[in-house]
Amino acid sequence: MARTPKRVAADLGDHAPRRLIIECKPAQVAAMAMAPAAAVPRDLAAIVKEAGATLDTGFAPVLLPAVAGQDPMEPGFDTSTRFDVSAAPGDATMLLVADGDAAAAEALAKRPEVVQVFADLPIEPCLICPGSPPLGNAADVANLLCTRVMQERGLNGLGVLLAIVDTGINKNHLASLGITPAMDVGRSWTPAAGMTPFDAPVGHGTMCAFDALIGAPRATLLDIQLLRSGAGAFTAFLSDAVRAFDHLRRIMEAPRRPGETRSLVVNNSWGMFHPSWDFPPGDPRNYSDNPNHPFNRAVAALEAAGADILFAAGNCGSDCPDGRCQGVTNRTIYGANGHPSVLTVAGVDTTKKRVGYSSKGPGRLSVNKPDIAGYTHFAGSGVYAADGGTSAACPVVAGVVAAARTKKPFLPGNPSASPHAMRELIRSTAEDLGAAGFDHDTGYGVVNGCAVADRVVPQIIVPPIDICRRFPDLCRRPVPIDFCRRYPQLCNPVPGPVPGPIPGPIPGPVPAPIPGPIPGPRPLPGLGDAEAGEASLEQILAAMWQMGYEDARRDAAAAPAPQRRAGGCACGGGD
């Protein structure tokens, strides 16, 4: 697979990031068969040391599949087809992490074994403006999401994996709120030994899990404790995110049992907050504007494996920016948060008004960002005074995606079940806000659970079959079976999903009785074999009634008995 040629950047001096991701092409990559490497090969360790950098020996090398590196900002970019991923082991590269200055990065980039050197940036949760009281609660959000209708249609997340990539989930806190979701410990991930899935300190990740379960209460949670990777509270680096996404991709690519579906929804309520954290746009080591950065390619690889990926837009909105934004409020949807292969989620409150801290588009990697808005700043998990920020909006939408996947599971090779198709479903069913159509405040509008349910499981109302009007003989003649009492569905409206409308024309009068003895199994009266195969339901019902009527008439002739009239459906009746 073709790759973007390596370029050597100019020395950026003391302002260059000190932590680096080194992408290498060692000879032994193909032999590793895409299995996680336990240690850095000695020859690569020596190259890093010779360049004046210090290898991070605590970072296990990651093999990254080859991803075609096109620019999503090019005219005509097609998000459904442009990111081609190769699963061939020989196409993979190895990622290492080291600390080094700009001179070390320059020296490493010149080595033939090195494909490129990139910024390894700190990432943090998208927290909220402090001191702002909540507006509404989780029950209000559930009503706005139309969860009752979704669950009536079977859209509840059952059988869907819902990964919360965050600070970790505390199951005891959820249980204290009466929430006991399915949890998959075996497929969860922690960055270091000694950490236990679903036993993290109560914090941002627990809030995100609570908010996702509003729309998908029966989804199976995966606890991906990315933001426990750093030495500080709730921090990590992009290299840690590459490891976490590599783990999720392997879940999607693992062998399946015959008939097994595997849908994975990945929530990410975190990102970078200021350009000073990064190399400048145009530098090949840059993350924010560079689709070839290893983490941006890891996102494309996971989406190509079938995962639905959602990212918070960020909290650098011009009305109430997070302090970490340092006053920068223009084009603040950086890197993967605005990747064309993800749903980028803005925030609105429970009155459907955009919250002031929600970052506005366009995105750095895709112009039409954000895609959608989710509800935020409401009283919910109890972790904070308000479940807020685009941190809360993102899992609210992730829950709706997981609910939709209950009835529309991912199927490899089926374009209508692809992540791209799911993004189109969420965007096309959104409730438009503000100016008609897409805008850079709330994308295509706020997520609309009712519209999603109608699209995934259409509700068809079956009209009543008025037996007495359509077939007056059923109400004028002695009837052996009281149809309306025995089969009330024939006389009353029956709302609910059905395979489709009743085909065929409205039938005429009931066929005349068939004289003579009637044997056992026999054709329907008045309908030949070919006609019976194409008959409407009402025609078949009428013919079946005629058969029963004739049987009862002959029985009555053999042993006379009191005759009864029809009743029970307000048909009336005459002689």
Q: Is the dihedral of CA 464, 465, 470, 474 positive or negative?
A: negative
One-letter amino acid of 393 = A
Which of 211, 391, 439, 441 is catalytic? The answer is 391
Q: Is 316 left (phi over 0), alpha (psi -120 to 50) or beta?
A: alpha
Count the Cβ atoms, other than its own, within 10 Å of residue 215.
Answer: 32
Residues in Cβ contact with 204 at an 8 Å cutoff, skipping those fewer than 6 apart: 125, 127, 166, 167, 227, 234, 269, 383, 391
Point out which residues pair with 62 in neighbouring strands.
Answer: 95
420 counts as catalytic: no
Burial class (CB in 10 A: 0-12, 13-18, 19+), 78: exposed
Cα separation, 117 vs 7, in Å, equals 10
Closest by Cα among 252, 259, 198 to 223: 198
Burial class (CB in 10 A: 0-12, 13-18, 19+), 227: buried
Asked if residue 146 lies in contact with residue 450, where contact means CB atoms within 8 angstroms, the answer is: yes
Cα separation, 162 vs 179, in Å, equals 15
Cα separation, 333 vs 440, in Å, equals 11
Alpha helices in 254-317 (DSSP H): 294-304
166 counts as catalytic: yes
Following DSSP, what letter does each residue of 18-35 receive, concatenated?
A: SEEEEEE--GGGGGGTTP
Cα separation, 106 vs 116, in Å, equals 10
Point out which residues pair with 137 in neighbouring strands.
Answer: 379
**In Å, what is the CA distance from 423 to each residue of 245, 377, 397?**
19, 24, 11
204 counts as catalytic: yes
Cα separation, 93 vs 4, in Å, equals 13
Instruction: Label the pairing between strands 19-24 and 66-67.
Output: unpaired
Following DSSP, what letter does each residue of 442-466 receive, concatenated?
A: TBT-B--HHHHHHHHS---EEPP--
Cα separation, 245 vs 254, in Å, equals 14
Which of 166, 223, 283, 387 is catalytic? The answer is 166
Q: Which residues are catalytic?
A: 166, 204, 391
